[in-house]
Amino acid sequence: MSTNSESKNPYTIQTEPFYLATGGEIELFEAASTACLPVMLKGPTGCGKTRFVEHMAYRLKRPLITVACHEDLFASDLIGRYLLKDDETVWVDGPLTRAVRMGAICYLDEIVEARKDTTVVIHPLTDNRRSLSIDKKGEVIRAHPDFLMVISYNPGYQSVLKDLKQSTRQRFVALTFDYPQPEDEARIVATEGQIDPDTAMRLVTLASKIRNIREQGLTEGASTRLLIYAANLIGSGIAFKRACTAALCQPLTDDDRLQETLNDLIDDLV
């Protein structure tokens, strides 16, 4: 793809997203891309999965089309549909079809939130067929050589009703993500939140303490994303305690008892 065409493609990421590698995930993703293997990202909310995909799209110079999955996502939302335009019925490609045609990375974020009958449409794209059937048009599209399917989900939210079917799981190369090591996470928070390293480390220390009390009723621990939000508030002049309450305590729970516990943890670091 030429530089001129890249600049005109609305799905091309122009500025390199900051991403700090924590293992061999970049090399594995690049190898999977070269071999046209679909990739599955597993990890808790806010640990950097989406940022990683954005970074790799920039690194590989591929357009990126992201779909936030939800329970009302139908196959037609991915593939496309006929619409009435200027008194004519015209076909409009969905995000998946656009990605298949142009050779983009199609990223289905939180795939388990989508309807099971919807996720089935990606199966022919994740094996040796690498094709997409558009039944309404009687068309079968062969995927562009640069097309790459990437999905993500949070194993912590798995349940009987929301789980990834084995018939889907076993079509992907899996990369497992977790929260970075404290030193790395502090560097990420300092860079993304534009605060000093010492304050960033205090936030990471607080997050570590919060993650250690999940057994008391928290559904999720404090994510790296929330730490960056707190850092953004602090960088805007909000006091440490108030920023942490707004960006960490309040989003994590509505339980008064847990709120009190979280506030005690903040007080220990003030």
Tell me the residue ranges of DSSP E strands in the chain: 39-42, 64-68, 80-85, 88-93, 105-109, 131-134, 139-142, 148-153, 173-176
Q: What is the DSSP string of 135-181?
A: TTTTEEEEPPTT-EEEEEE-GGG--SSS---HHHHTTSEEEE--PPP
Is residue 2 predicted with pLDDT exceeding 90? no
Give the model's pLDDT for residue 155.
84
Strand bridging mode 148-153 / 139-142: unpaired
Integer Cα distance of 76 and 71 in angstroms: 13
Q: Mean per-residue pLDDT for 123-130?
A: 95
Residue 208 and residue 181 in contact, taking contact as beta carbons nearer than 8 Å: no
Per cent of the chain over pLDDT 70 is 94
Query: Over the stretch 86-122, which tens digit does the pLDDT of each residue have?
Result: 889 999 999 999 999 999 999 999 998 988 888 899 9
Give the model's pLDDT for residue 1.
46
Integer Cα distance of 134 and 33 in angstroms: 25
Give the model's confidence band at 160: pLDDT under 50 very low, under 70 low, under 90 confident, else very high.
very low
The H or E element containing residue 73 is none
Structure tokens at 40: 């599955």
Query: Over the stretch 166-216, which tens digit does the pLDDT of each residue have?
Result: 888 899 999 999 999 999 999 999 999 999 999 999 999 999 999 988 767
Residue 67: which of 150, 175, 159, 146 has the closest Cα?
A: 150
Residue 104 and residue 62 in contact, taking contact as beta carbons nearer than 8 Å: yes
92 φ, ψ to 5°? -125, 120
On average, the pLDDT of the chain sits at 91
Give the model's pLDDT for residue 125.
96
Largest CA distance in the chain: 66
Label residue 150 exposed, middle or buried (CB < 10 Å: 0-12, 13-18, 19+). Answer: buried
Integer Cα distance of 172 and 169 in angstroms: 6
Integer Cα distance of 250 and 218 in angstroms: 12
